Amino acid sequence: MTPPRSTSPHILVVNGTKVRRPVFLLGAPHSGTDLVARAIRHSTAFHLTMGRPNVVRTVYAFARRPSIASERGAGAARVMRDAYAQSWQVTPDGCGECPAQCRDLGRLGPDGVCADPRGIQRFADATPDLIYSADVILDAFPDAQLIQVIRDGRDVVAGMVSDERCLAWFRPGFANLDEVFPNAFLGVEDETERARWPRAGVAVKCALRWRGSIRLSARLRAQTPDEQLFTIRYEDLVTRTREILGDISDYLGQRIAKSALHGVGDDDIGMWQDHLTPKQVTQVEKIAGAELRRLGYRPSGREWPTAGTRS
């Protein structure tokens, strides 16, 4: 059972601005959080970061070893706040630490910074894998607003299998199933999956990670008030872009330009049909069929397998 979250006020001031209702983007790898990040970054009212080193270290420490957060209690929230207090500073040195994917979102000026401190009203972060630290984030920032992006797990796996950053977590030196089990980060929940992990194919491991993130998203949805969690589908974002950006604006209470994602297309919807082998599709659907069915994604021309799946 999740312990009650602290309601004690913590006033964090960054660049002379009080941090109120910070926004955090959640989703499995290749789910489309980067598109939402680009849209929010387009608004001059927001200072959005992604992948700042001190935040990455904190997020992955809690994600890979959840016991650290539970053992530290309120201390975990303090560590998270301290990480963002540093990450959200607008300085050339700070922006210089941003990875390429953050700089690619745009707005990096000739002075080497991506925001004007005088115009910042809100703060946001889209560091990958925040979903595993959502409870700590809400403890650290009780008024936070979360946006989670859901995408067809087969397309997610198709993106992951060619992404070296995602695959790095599957290397023997990084996988920590001997120390952490069940393992939410790797998506391994029972002894059978644990025993099969060393010889499992890459699509299997990617499917387990997607399934695990979706189950975390479902639990988060059940525990979080509507005013603090907004869920969108990648497929809606790229086919009904202006409408979805309008919905995001309403949720955040801050205007996000409907032209922020101009030119984004829907070519990647169903990419799994060209990028996964029939065997890999079968593996993904066997592992995550229950989640795909619950989310309304259609099977690949046959009934969903049921073996090895749980609701």
Calculate mean pLDDT across residues 65-77: 86
Pairing of strands 229-233, 145-150: parallel
Calculate mean pLDDT across residues 191-208: 97
Does the pTM exceed 0.85? yes
Residue 196: give its domain's CATH number. 3.40.50.300
Q: Is residue 52 part of a domain?
A: yes
pLDDT at 248 over 60: yes
CB-based contacts of 151, cutoff 8 Å, min separation 6? 27, 28, 30, 31, 32, 233, 234, 235
**What range does the domain containing 72 cover?**
13-294
pLDDT at 231 over 90: yes
Calculate mean pLDDT across residues 260-266: 91
User: How confident is the model at residue 103, as a pLDDT?
Assistant: 76
User: How confident is the model at residue 311, as a pLDDT?
Assistant: 30
Q: Is 110 helix (H, G, I), strand (E, B) or coil?
A: coil
Q: Is residue 311 part of a domain?
A: no
Q: Is 35 helix (H, G, I), strand (E, B) or coil?
A: helix
pLDDT at 289 over 90: yes
pLDDT at 6 over 80: no
Calculate mean pLDDT across residues 190-197: 96
Q: Is residue 139 part of a domain?
A: yes
pLDDT greater at residue 97 or residue 223: 223
How many domains are contained in the chain?
A: 1
What is the DSSP code string of 177-193?
Answer: TTTSSSBTTTTB-SHHH
pLDDT at 303 over 60: no
pLDDT band at residue 301 under the 50/70/90 scheme: low
Q: Is residue 310 part of a domain?
A: no
C-alpha 191/C-alpha 151 separation (Å) is 28
Instruction: Kindly report the average pLDDT of the chain as a whole number.
Output: 90
**Pick from 13, 57, 24: which is nearest to 138 by CA?**
24
Tokens of 31: 């789910």
Calculate mean pLDDT across residues 186-207: 97
Q: Is residue 270 part of a domain?
A: yes
Q: Is residue 190 part of a domain?
A: yes
User: How confident is the model at residue 1, as a pLDDT?
Assistant: 37
C-alpha 67/C-alpha 182 separation (Å) is 12
Classify each residue of 157-171 as buried b or exposed e, where b means 16 or more C-beta atoms within 10 Å of its C-beta: bbbbbeeeebeebbe
| 234-246 pLDDT, tens digit each | 999 999 999 999 9
User: How confident is the model at residue 194, as a pLDDT?
Assistant: 96
Q: Is residue 5 part of a domain?
A: no
C-alpha 93/C-alpha 204 separation (Å) is 40
C-alpha 43/C-alpha 57 separation (Å) is 27
pLDDT band at residue 91 under the 50/70/90 scheme: confident
**Pick from 92, 165, 161, 179: which is nearest to 128 by CA?**
165
**Pick from 216, 31, 36: which is nearest to 135 by CA?**
216
Q: Is 225 exposed, middle or buried (0-12, 13-18, 19+ CB in 10 A)?
A: exposed
Q: Is residue 306 part of a domain?
A: no
| 24-69 pLDDT, tens digit each | 999 999 999 999 999 999 998 999 999 999 999 999 999 999 998 8
